[in-house]
Structure 1
Amino acid sequence: MILNLLFPNRCLECSRIIGSGELVCGICIGQVLFTHHDFSRENLLKERCSLLFPVENAFALMQFEEESVSRKIVHQLKYGSREKTGKILAEWTAERIKFPEDKPDLMVSVPLHPKKLKERGYNQLHLFTETLSKKLDIPFDHQVIKRNFYRKAQAQKDKSHRAETENLFSLTQEISDSHVLLIDDVFTTGNTMSSVAWEILKAGNNKVSVLVMAVD
């Protein structure tokens, strides 16, 4: 209570004082660049994924543009030590995504390397995935995929190095005859997502759909 008075939660865009369970104020939420994607129909994210791997459906919550509120929100989640941001983004996603009859069987998020996890203190996708799992009634498993190598963040690498994703991930258990919903924070080049997707696809008679917080 005292901490809330001394350090009130503020809107990421305009710094107005807002409730503890909010990211932006009622005015600035209108500036969040929601994509309005339809999960079961063609959209920009699905088109970009399909150039890299077979994809069933795809959904991006926001557009990740320079100097946008959306970008500030994702950066707070990843670099601002605000893990609870993932919960709010999951609630926004659950309100906007609609599944066809073929709902995914399992939710899997892109893993961090243990060294990166130790540096950051949390995986920015875990709370997002866990919250979404409850709201959409789809089980999740954080242990299915492991990251084999420690690498610099994609944003810190030039394009020539971003393609170096061979053997970056591997499965820790067998997956077959499953429709997997693969989750990540931002879709940029798609190389990381593609690397994980192919590990799942080549493991058995599996299908992959994609869900990201934002698409660049």
Structure 2
Amino acid sequence: MILDLLFPNRCIHCNRIVSGDLIVCGICYSQIHFTHYDYFENNPVKEKCSLLFPVEHTYALIQFEEESLSRKIIHELKYRGREKTGKIIADWTTERLDFKNEKPDLMVTVPLHPRKLKKRGYNQLHLFTETLSKFYNIPFDHNLVERNNYSKAQALKDKKTRLETGSTFSVTKNISGKNILLIDDVFTTGNTISSIAWEILNAGDNKLSVLVMAMDA
């Protein structure tokens, strides 16, 4: 209680005091550019994924624009130690995403290399995915895919480098006949998601859909 008085939680955009379970105030929330994509219809994520690998359905919650509040929110989650932001983004997702009668069988997260995980202290996708899993009653697996190579953050690479150098991933378990939802934070070139998608698709007779927090323009 004393710490809350001395160091109140503040909106990351305008610095207004907000309750501890929020990251932005009501006024700034209206400035977030939600995509309003339909999971079952064609959208920019599906158009880009379809050029790289067979994909069933796709969804992105927000637009990842330069100098935007959306970008700031993702950066708070990934680089500022605010892991709880993952739950907030998941809550926003559940308000907008309806799987109807085609729920995935399993949610799978993009892994961090153990070295990067140790440095950051958490995988920014885990709390997000676990919150979605509880809401939709869909199991998750954070260990189905592992990252074999250590590389610097995608945000620190130029576009050419992101296209030319992909991390190597591998599937750690036998899996076949599943409808898998692959989850990542930001869709940029699709290089990372594509690398993992092919590992999962080649592991067995699986189908793959994609869910990302944000879509880069």
2:131 matches 1:148: no
Matches within 5 A, 1:95-106: 95-106=95-106
Give the corresponding residue for 1:196. 196
Matched with 2:26 is: 26
TM-score, normalised to structure 1, is 0.97
What secondary structure sits across from 1:185 in the alignment?
A: strand
Q: What count of residue pairs does the alignment treat as equivalent?
A: 215
> Aligned equivalents of 2:54 and 2:100: distance in 1?
18
Gap regions ≥5 residues in structure 1:
none
Q: Is the aligned partner of 1:39 residue 2:39?
A: yes
* Aligned counterpart, 2:210: 210
Percent sequence identity over aligned pairs: 67
Tell me the distance in 2 between the aligned counterparts of 1:174 and 1:73.
Answer: 36
1:8 alignment partner in structure 2: 8
**Could you tell me how far 1:154 is from its partner in structure 2?**
1.3
**Is the 1:64–1:71 contact (alpha carbons within 8 Å) kept by the matching residues of 2?**
yes
Within 5 A, what are the aligned runs for 1:9-158?
A: 9-158=9-158
Give the aligned residue type for 2:166.
T
Task: For 2:55 and 2:110, locate their aligned partners in 1 and report how far apart those are by CA, in whole Å.
Answer: 16
| Structure 1 position 101, deviation (Å) | 2.2
What's the CA shift for 1:102?
A: 2.0
Taking the aligned partners of 2:127 and 2:102, their CA distance within structure 1 comes to 24
Structure-to-structure mapping, 1:158-177, within 5 angstroms: 158-162=158-162, 163-165=164-166, 168-177=168-177
Q: Distance in 2 between matches of 1:148 and 1:2?
A: 45
Q: Secondary structure at the match of 2:46?
A: helix
In structure 2, distance between residues paired with 1:161 and 1:24: 33
RMSD after superposition? 0.9
Contact (CA 8 Å) 1:40, 1:57: kept in 2 or not? yes
> What's the TM-score once normalised by structure 2's chain length?
0.97
Give the aligned residue type for 1:34. F
**Change in 2 beyond 3 A, CA 1:190/1:115:** same
Matched to 2:25, the amino acid is C
